[in-house]
Amino acid sequence: MEIPLTLVCNNNCISCIRDRSQPSGHVHWKTIKQCIDRLPKDCHTVGISGGEPTISPNFFRAMSYIRDTRPDTLLFLVSNGRMFSYPEFAERLSNLRIKNFRVGIAIYSHLPSVHDSVTMVKGSWEQTLRGIKALTSLGIRVELRVIVSRLNYASLDETARFISRNLAGVERVVFINMKYTGNALINLKRIFIRYSKLVPHTSRAADTLLNAGIPVKLFHFPLCTLPEGYREIAKGVTKQGPELAFAKACKTCGSRQDCPMIWKSYLNLSGEKEFTPIQ
């Protein structure tokens, strides 16, 4: 289950799945509380998202309320990490003492110029890095999310080396293939990349991190696009609903039940030639 606290963001990422030119605002506390109160009893994970949830005026109130009402549920915060570069903000989160908690922070490159060209905010890379280090120093679990695009795919191994040398305190690194909607669709010519081009670079980056002892996951990589040795870390659907699909050839695939499927938005752009059943 995912609960957005706001549609406002302090970045304007060209790869955002939302159209940032559309009207946006903060979600009222009453609505947030109702969403939390209506969570199913068997809900094991609650995602806190946005926009950028840390700039919501209800951020700490929502985090405290979930902590108190769902103490055993994993609370997963999706953030760009910038607000945690302010020590008092990071410490305030740490002081909540949330028992089962992880923060997922997007990083686009080891190069400030590339990261900032995606976020469209000068200095965002520096703030994000400070935020990541602040959280890990406080003992908060951090998952780095490297969203792959035409702008960064060729240098993923260098990014992995940077992470292994400078951010080794993170819990794991996840490489994510984009859904082409919102800003990502608007900026398609700048960021679109085929699986066949990006997979070799992603594989090398995964090896670099794994060799450094940092766990890796691949999100939204259909299993048939990967060498066999990398399929285990890509298994499983991370999203549900009509946004995902199989290609026609997938009907006879022996790994269909484990496959994360394909973004429909990708299929609409690329066609089905890249997808071959696994026997």
Instruction: Say if 39 falls within a structural domain.
Output: yes
Q: Is 163 domain-assigned?
A: yes
Overall number of domains in the chain: 1
pLDDT, one tens digit for every residue, the chain (279 residues) = 899 999 999 999 999 988 766 667 999 999 999 999 999 988 899 999 999 999 999 999 999 999 999 998 999 999 999 999 999 999 999 999 999 999 999 999 999 999 999 999 999 999 999 999 999 999 999 999 999 999 999 999 999 999 999 998 999 999 999 999 999 999 999 999 999 999 999 999 999 999 999 999 999 999 999 999 999 999 988 776 789 999 999 999 999 999 999 999 999 999 999 999 998
SS3 state of residue 21: coil
Cβ 80 vs Cβ 126: under 8 Å: no
The answer to whether residue 267 is domain-embedded is: no
Q: Is 245 a member of any domain? A: no
Instruction: Flag whether 195 is in a domain.
Output: yes
Q: Is residue 239 part of a domain?
A: no
Structure tokens at 194: 């085929």
Retrieve residue 261's tokens.
Answer: 């499927």
- Beta bridge partner(s), residue 147: 176
Supply the pTM of this predicted model.
0.94
| CATH number assigned to the domain comprising residue 104 | 3.20.20.70
Domain that holds residue 24: 2-219
Identify which of 80, 24, 12, 74 has the alpha carbon closest to the alpha carbon of residue 52. Answer: 80
